[in-house]
Amino acid sequence: MPIRVLDKKVVAQIAAGEVVERPASVVKELVENALDAGATQIVVEAKGGGVSLIRVTDNGSGIPADEVELAFERHATSKISSVADLQSIHSLGFRGEALPSIAAVAQVEMVTCAVGEATGTFVSLEGGVMVQRRTQARAPGTTVAVRQLFRNVPARLKFLKSAATENNHIAGVVSQYALAYPEVAFMLMIDGRKTLSTSGRGRLMDSIMEIYGLETARQMLEVKSDGWSGPVEVSGMVGAPTLSRAGRDYLSFFVNRRWVNSRLLTRAVEEAYHGLLTVGKHPVAVIALSLPPPEVDVNIHPAKSEVKFHNERTVFMAVQKAVRQALVEQMPVPSIGEVATAPYAPPVQREQEIWNRVAVSGRSPQPAVDTFLPLTASLPVLRVIGQLMKSYIVAEGPDGLYLIDQHAAHERIILEQVKAQRARQAVEVQGLLAPATLEVSPAEAQVMKWHLTELASFGFTLEPFGERTYLVRAVPAVLGNGDWLSALRELLDAGNDKASWTEKVLISLACHGAVRSGKALTDDEMRALVRQLEQTAAPHTCPHGRPTLIRLSAGQLSREFRRT
């Protein structure tokens, strides 16, 4: 085929394919335009999964009458004027592609009135061509109605999911911007039903409560970088380790108020939770980053959903440190659930504020579980009372009764002890009375070859003794009375994942060296274990992320015995 210039309609639809992937993409572009216009109230309506109708109404600055038609021209924008402006993007939309791309694949109507104008302007477009224009009364702001989306692109329409699925995507977009802009009042109507309504009072906790519910909001912890992260300011809220999800859908990231997807930020948050969540679980987090515009490139994706940082390491460390600090300083001890009929009286000020807001909104509180007690990294002084079922240590604290999982607690103690010894290059070892032989498979032999030196740094003395046989002369002291052979086998089976090998060794040593459930402990042994747990840096969870202890509060005890 000869080279030729494509028809303008084809070009418009190609551009639309990059910007408008599904109905939720239209909602995203129109909401971003409303926010850039300074709107404080945004109403989103959708019908038929967004295919029949999408209407976004705002009270922003509006578009002047003499610029309305220009707004539907490709690459027409009021947000940049030169190449230099691309180095300092302060708005959400700047490409000038949203409105013309939407108009290319749908029927579009707009009513807008700029601040200071007496009347508004109505325009209607079909296939990207203006078919009607007139004056119309309207308060300052803009309403854009998009009908019959993809009606002239049946191939794209064919790949859309069910109306329920598309509605979920639309709700997801509105929810994200409600989290990013808590000072803006959002309302979402789907098929005539109010799905979401935020107050716009500027408090992130309000938006979280409206979107995720009261029980989730109760377990959120505030994140602040407090200026120590240099040019990167980190704020937002993250869930306590007791609040986790099976997927990453509850991770929200905003860079200079822009909602983005970022593997770097996802990894930073999950690293901060390392050792606090069980395997296969993911945290809930709403993280906002503020940094100088030249430090972030927002012009790398047509839909503006991804960004690139100039200094990725600085950003990663700032997010990881801020989240980890919030978890360490505020991480709660899980409490034993109340009976459903017990009255609820949250003593924590942060939770009382939430409940006050619930009372204002008219919702009925759900008395389900006892309050979470935010703690610092250290535990209160505990007095050991006894042992339960040869697995749990019962202890009294200043605020109630504690049940400590002896195996999980000992795992945490051993992990931190070995870490400290290895940092000092003084890992305690125990020699075997007689060398033991260890035969390995060809695959295990390769893993052993790769990590022999590292195993030695943990206290294993291993010598080659034939093609696939090793002599074991010494093992880490923590495994002296444990099952060191199972620990070694477990590590060899783990393969050659160098990124997590060290952590796997630590966890394996802790697991196989810890006291087992079902072992009777003396009073002195229990007291020693509790004292050691109190001195660890992260006493609330074991290396696998399971809780080491739970609390039955004094208030709950009083309520259960009807003393209050």
Where do the domains of the chain lie?
Answer: 8-197, 219-330, 349-408+519-560, 427-513
What does the pLDDT read at residue 362?
46
Q: Which two tokens stand for residue 92?
A: 């959400």
Q: How far apart are CA 100 and CA 128, in angstroms?
A: 7
Question: Is 514:416 a contact under the CB 8 Å cutoff?
Answer: no
**Under 8 Å between Cβ of 536 and 416:** yes
Is residue 289 within 8 Å of 321, Cβ to Cβ?
Answer: no
Determine the Cα–Cα distance for residues 507 and 488; give it in Å rounded to an integer. 12
Q: 297 pairs with which residues across the strands?
A: 308
| Check whether domain 8-197 has CATH 3.40.350.10, yes or no | no
> Can you give the length of the chain in residues?
564
**DSSP summary character for residue 541:** B
CA dihedral angle for residue 388, residue 392, residue 396, residue 400, rounded to 10 degrees: -100
Q: Which of 544, 532, 551 is nearest to 410 (CA)?
A: 532
Return the sign of the alpha-carbon dihedral for residues 25, 30, 31, 37: positive
pTM: 0.69
Letter for the amino acid at 328?
V
- First-last CA distance in the chain: 86
At 475, is the secondary structure helix, strand, or coil? strand
The per-residue pLDDT for 442 is 82
| Pairing, β 193-197 against β 392-397 | unpaired
State how far the alpha carbon of 70 is from the alpha carbons of 75, 100, 123, 154, in Å. Answer: 10, 10, 12, 28
CATH 3.40.50.10540 fits 219-330, yes or no: no
CB atoms closer than 10 angstroms to residue 243: 21
Looking at residue 144, its pLDDT comes to 96
Q: Which two tokens stand for residue 466?
A: 């034939």
CA angle 271, 274, 280 (to 5 degrees): 100
pLDDT for 90 equals: 65
User: Which of 106, 82, 215 lies closest to 156, judged by CA?
Assistant: 106
Instruction: Report the alpha-carbon distance of residue 242 to residue 284 in Å, rounded.
Output: 10
Helices (H), 514-561: 523-534, 554-560
Q: In degrees to the nearest 10, what's the CA dihedral of 255, 349, 379, 326?
A: 10
Tokens of 393: 């240590």
Q: Is 295 exposed, middle or buried (0-12, 13-18, 19+ CB in 10 A)?
A: middle
Task: Pick the closest to residue 33 from 95, 113, 93 (CA basis).
Answer: 93
Is residue 182 within 8 A of residue 203, CB to CB? The reply is yes
Q: Are 169 and 24 in contact (CB under 8 A)?
A: yes
Q: Please give the chain's pLDDT, 564 residues, in tens.
A: 677 665 666 665 555 555 688 999 999 999 999 999 999 999 999 999 999 999 999 999 999 999 999 988 876 666 655 655 556 666 776 666 788 889 988 999 999 999 999 999 999 999 888 999 999 999 999 999 999 998 888 877 888 888 989 999 999 999 999 999 999 999 999 999 999 999 999 999 999 999 988 888 988 999 988 766 678 999 999 998 888 888 898 999 999 999 999 999 999 999 888 878 877 789 999 999 999 988 888 766 666 678 889 899 999 999 999 998 888 887 666 666 533 323 333 333 444 444 454 444 444 444 333 334 344 456 788 999 999 999 999 999 888 899 999 999 999 999 999 999 988 989 999 999 899 998 888 878 888 888 888 899 999 999 998 878 999 999 999 987 777 888 888 888 766 666 577 888 888 899 889 999 999 999 999 999 999 998 888 888 888 888 899 988 888 888 888 886
Query: Could you tell me which CATH class the domain 427-513 is placed in?
Result: alpha beta
Residue 426: C-alpha distances to residues 359, 457, 479 (Å):
58, 9, 16
For 385, the enclosing helix (H) or strand (E) is strand 383-388
Residue 463 CA from chain centroid, whole number: 45
125 alpha-carbon distance from chain centroid: 40
Provide the phi-psi class of 427: left if phi over 0, else alpha when psi is between -120 and 50, else beta: beta
**Structure token digits, residue 5:** 């210039």
Residue 344: predicted pLDDT: 30
pLDDT at 10: 60
Question: What is 349-408+519-560's CATH number, 3.10.20.90, 3.20.20.120, 3.30.160.620, 3.30.1540.20?
Answer: 3.30.1540.20
Q: How far apart are CA 102 and CA 187, in angstroms?
A: 22
Residue 186: HSE in the Cβ half-sphere, 13 Å Cα cutoff: 30
**Which amino acid is present at 318?**
A
Confidence (pLDDT) at 365: 41
Q: Note the pLDDT of residue 483.
A: 78
Buried b (16+ CB within 10 A) or exposed e, 530-551: bebbeebebbbbbbbbbbbbbb
Rounded CA separation 530/549 (Å): 11
10 Å Cβ neighbour count for 438?
Answer: 19
Tell me the DSSP string of 5-32: PPPHHHHHHHHHHHH-SSHHHHHHHHHH
